[in-house]
Amino acid sequence: MNEIVREGGCLCGAIRYRVAGVPLWVAHCHCQSCRRHTGTGMTTFAGFPKSQFTITAGTPVRRESSPDVWRRHCGDCGSPLTYEARRCDDEVHVYLGTLDAPAELVPQLHVFTEEAVPWLRIEDGLPRYARTSRGEPAT
């Protein structure tokens, strides 16, 4: 059986990456930190085991955006690429929009809805979590 492999990268093409397998989850995040990192009303991630993620070209900039949270982006064009946190140390969260074929992955839930901007209304029927979906009931 062939393993699914997806590729992605930044806007200018300096950074390329590959992820193998199916994502652990795909989620819309509404937190302020993600909004600031992307300059958008929300962002969408796909979570993968770190062991399935590989940078194939270039070297992204990695910075600690808040305690125990690291984000990688292209140092040339600024495209945000990944999110990593100590609380989920075995995962890498890939910004869905950086995948070459983002439409192949469908969001399953919304997280950090308590921080959502009031003017963005998405009525998709997906489960919503005030913070994280880990051990928290959906609303």
Convert the pLDDT of each residue in 15-51 to its tens digit.
999 999 999 999 999 999 999 999 999 999 999 999 9
Task: Give the CA dihedral 10, 49, 43, 85, nearest 10 degrees.
Answer: -100
Q: Residue 61 belongs to a domain with what CATH number?
A: 2.170.150.70
Residues 6+ apart with CB under 8 A from 18: 5, 6, 7, 8, 53, 54, 56
Residue 13 has pLDDT above 80, yes or no: yes
The amino acid at 30: H
CB 59 within 8 A of CB 45: no
The DSSP bridge partners found for residue 39 are: none
In a domain, 109, yes or no: yes
Domain carrying residue 67 = 5-115
133 found inside a domain = no
The mean pLDDT of 56-69, rounded to a whole number, is 95
Please say whether the beta carbons of 91 and 110 come within 8 A.
no
- Residue 88: inside a domain, yes or no? yes
Q: What is the DSSP letter of 127?
A: -
Q: What is the mean pLDDT of the chain?
A: 94
**Residue 132 belongs to some domain of the structure:** no
Residue 61 covered by a domain: yes
Q: Does residue 122 fall inside a structural domain? A: no
| Residue 24: how many other CB atoms lie within 10 Å | 15
